[in-house]
Amino acid sequence: MSALRILFRFLFVAIAAIAHIGCVENATGVSGRKPPYLAVLVFVDAPPEVTTRGPFTFRVRELSGTLGVDTSFRASPTDTTIMSVVAASYRVDISDVPATCGVRNGTAQAVVVPPNTNTTLIQFFITCEPGLTVITGTDGATADPDYLVTVTGTDGPALSKVVTSNDTVRFAGITAGSYDVTLRLVADNCVVTSDGGESVRVSIKAGGSTSVRFRIVCAEVARRPRIVRLVGSYYQGSIGYVIRATDPNGDIARSFVDVTDCNHRSILPNGGQLRGGYSAAPNVARRDTAVIIGAYDLGITDAQLVNRCLSVWVDDERGNVSPIVEIPLLPRVASRAPIVAGFNALLNGTRSILVNASATDPNNDYVGAFLVYLLRDGVLSAPDGQPDRVLGQPAGIIGFVTAELAVGIGFGAWNDYIGAIVYFVDAEGNFTRVTDMDLFR
């Protein structure tokens, strides 16, 4: 509600009190209407369909209990109640507020009505939400101007509304239950990158509300990258993968990797991971086909990864996003995974860390490695009980690892480093993970 509307309403209340008009009750039981007055106002910030709800129930009590003032009345969100009272301290409670609404500063207020005054105000500010709110956010090149949102549940007909590219639509009167909220008519050059993709399942409790946010990124078709091959596997709570992607300008910049239920819904505790810094990588920059080697430790068990999928997209320096590719995530085939031939991470005095690693492959399809340096918890980010990590090369390393990382220049001092991990990955996504936690030999 605007400040101007509040001002007009305040003036109306004051004039009404002076003229003895409005909804007036005599709380003291004494006949006649005379000052001082107590006015109860309700301001509701809600969609139109919510402001028609009500009425609310109000209870006015004199705090000392000696005057015997204890009265209740009902009023709608558009009403103003003015009553003649005795100068004293009062408590006013509001109830019967819909479950999808909240009362700012609580449902009870205390007020002192001084003697020899005209009107004292009590104001309740209520904010409400409908059963379901759908929010769209779109950016990128040639953005789609609008979409169709459909809501389907087990009972009742499907609901639908048109929503523009950056907008909010509300569905009121939805009963408790589970619903599929789907964004339809998305242009071919656009991708829904939010969790769940174009269809999200929500549960609404009785009297409750929820919201769904769709994030859409649109691309210049002529400059758009595309994933031409994706492979990956899991083993002992980790995944390894290889992405091969083309880009007309050879400027792939980032990848987003997630493990899903095979319907674009993440199963990971913190959702998918966005990894960047590919622009200068020799296996990505200015390549007709970029080769990105990656790995993550997921923090979940292999049992939780059974019958799951690997979901990936890449984008370029201009923000053009590729179509999403989702494939079955398979268990690692140990007999085909790379075999470590050598691995050592070693401090070079206090200046750098040297990592040498090599592997062979039973099928002669070895691709490359992914290197991670481990630091003491809390050196680079807030402590979380896990070592901090620095990536040796975000896009992975084609071939074998012979790397040197200078220390003390922004990623911790030499004595902050505690170890290194290397993932060796082959052309089918099978990988072998090795760790060296002794940097002194």
Assigned domain for 81 exists: yes
Q: How many CB atoms lie within 10 A of CB 130?
A: 19
Q: Which residue has the higher pLDDT, 421 or 6?
A: 421
Sheet holding 199-204, edge to edge: 159-164, 146-153, 177-184, 199-204
Q: How many domains does the chain have?
A: 4
| Whether the predicted pLDDT of 137 surpasses 90 | yes
Give the torsion sign (CA, 15, 19, 21, 24): positive
151 plus 97 within the same structural domain: no
Q: Categorize the per-residue pLDDT at 120 as very low, low, confident or very high, splitting at 50, 70 and 90.
A: very high
Q: Categorize the per-residue pLDDT at 408 as very low, low, confident or very high, splitting at 50, 70 and 90.
A: confident
Q: Mean per-residue pLDDT for 47-53?
A: 55
- DSSP 8-state assignment for residue 380: S
| Whether the predicted pLDDT of 3 surpasses 80 | no
Q: Mean per-residue pLDDT for 222-226?
A: 96
413 plus 296 within the same structural domain: no
Which distant-in-sequence residues (6+ apart) come within 8 Å of 193 by Cβ?
215, 216, 217, 256, 313, 321, 324
Assigned domain for 91 exists: yes
- Are 439 and 345 in contact by the 8 Å Cβ rule? The answer is yes
240 plus 276 within the same structural domain: yes
Q: Mean per-residue pLDDT for 162-183?
A: 89
Q: Which residue has the higher pLDDT, 286 or 100?
A: 286
123 plus 164 within the same structural domain: no
Assigned domain for 375 exists: yes
Residue 398 tokens read as 């084609």
In this prediction, residue 236 carries a pLDDT of: 97
In this prediction, residue 54 carries a pLDDT of: 61
346 plus 307 within the same structural domain: no
145 plus 115 within the same structural domain: no
| Residue labelled with tokens 């003649």 | 84
Assigned domain for 441 exists: no
Which distant-in-sequence residues (6+ apart) come within 8 Å of 346 by Cβ?
353, 354, 355, 439, 440, 441
- The 10s digit of each residue's pLDDT in 6-29 is 444 444 444 444 443 334 443 333
Q: How many percent of the chain have pLDDT more than 90?
A: 71
Q: Categorize the per-residue pLDDT at 411 as very low, low, confident or very high, splitting at 50, 70 and 90.
A: confident
| Whether the predicted pLDDT of 270 surpasses 80 | yes
Q: Mean per-residue pLDDT for 143-156?
A: 89
Question: Considering the chain, what is the average pLDDT of its residues?
Answer: 88
In this prediction, residue 371 carries a pLDDT of: 97
Q: Mean per-residue pLDDT for 32-45?
A: 83
Q: Which of 259, 239, 230 is nearest to 433 (CA)?
A: 239
Q: Mean per-residue pLDDT for 343-358?
A: 95
In this prediction, residue 53 carries a pLDDT of: 56
Q: Mean per-residue pLDDT for 283-310?
A: 96
Which distant-in-sequence residues (6+ apart) come within 8 Å of 3 by Cβ?
none
Question: Which segment, 77-81, 90-94, 201-205, is predicted with the most confidence on average?
Answer: 90-94
Q: What spatial distance separates the first Cα and last Cα of the chain, rounded to whole Å? A: 69
In this prediction, residue 269 carries a pLDDT of: 93
Q: Categorize the per-residue pLDDT at 48 as very low, low, confident or very high, splitting at 50, 70 and 90.
A: low
268 plus 355 within the same structural domain: no
In this prediction, residue 21 carries a pLDDT of: 38
Range of the domain at 259: 221-331
Assigned domain for 268 exists: yes
349 plus 426 within the same structural domain: yes
- Are 433 and 421 in contact by the 8 Å Cβ rule? The answer is yes
Considering only CA atoms, give the Rg of the chain: 32
- The 10s digit of each residue's pLDDT in 324-342 is 999 999 999 999 999 999 9
- Are 330 and 429 in contact by the 8 Å Cβ rule? The answer is yes
Looking at residue 401, its amino acid is: V
Which distant-in-sequence residues (6+ apart) come within 8 Å of 180 by Cβ?
151, 152, 153, 199, 200, 201
- Of 306, 331, 356, the position where a domain reaches its end is 331
Which distant-in-sequence residues (6+ apart) come within 8 Å of 423 by Cβ?
238, 240, 295, 369, 370, 372, 431, 432, 433
Total length of the chain: 441
In this prediction, residue 94 carries a pLDDT of: 93
51 plus 140 within the same structural domain: no
| Whether the predicted pLDDT of 351 surpasses 50 | yes
| Whether the predicted pLDDT of 157 surpasses 90 | no
112 plus 170 within the same structural domain: no
- The 10s digit of each residue's pLDDT in 361-407 is 999 999 999 999 999 999 998 999 999 999 999 999 999 998 899 99
Measured CA to CA, the distance from residue 161 to residue 134 in angstroms comes to 10
Measured CA to CA, the distance from residue 137 to residue 213 in angstroms comes to 8
In this prediction, residue 98 carries a pLDDT of: 73
In this prediction, residue 18 carries a pLDDT of: 42
In this prediction, residue 17 carries a pLDDT of: 42
| Whether the predicted pLDDT of 114 surpasses 50 | yes
Assigned domain for 205 exists: yes
Q: Mean per-residue pLDDT for 88-95?
A: 94
**H runs (alpha helix) in 40-111:** 48-51
In this prediction, residue 331 carries a pLDDT of: 98
- Are 343 and 433 in contact by the 8 Å Cβ rule? The answer is no
- Of 271, 302, 331, the position where a domain reaches its end is 331
9 plus 115 within the same structural domain: yes
Residue 102 tokens read as 């909240």
Q: Mean per-residue pLDDT for 133-152?
A: 94
Q: Categorize the per-residue pLDDT at 33 as very low, low, confident or very high, splitting at 50, 70 and 90.
A: low
pTM flag (> 0.85): no
Measured CA to CA, the distance from residue 264 to residue 267 in angstroms comes to 9
Query: Domain containing 396 — which CATH number?
Result: 2.60.40.10
| Whether the predicted pLDDT of 349 surpasses 60 | yes
Measured CA to CA, the distance from residue 87 to residue 32 in angstroms comes to 16
Helix, strand, or coil (residue 124): strand
Question: Which segment, 27-31, 37-41, 55-59, 257-261, is predicted with the most confidence on average?
Answer: 257-261
Q: Mean per-residue pLDDT for 250-277?
A: 96
Q: Which of 132, 133, 177, 173 is nearest to 154 (CA)?
A: 177
Which distant-in-sequence residues (6+ apart) come within 8 Å of 230 by Cβ?
241, 242, 243, 244, 310, 312, 325, 327
Measured CA to CA, the distance from residue 373 to residue 387 in angstroms comes to 9
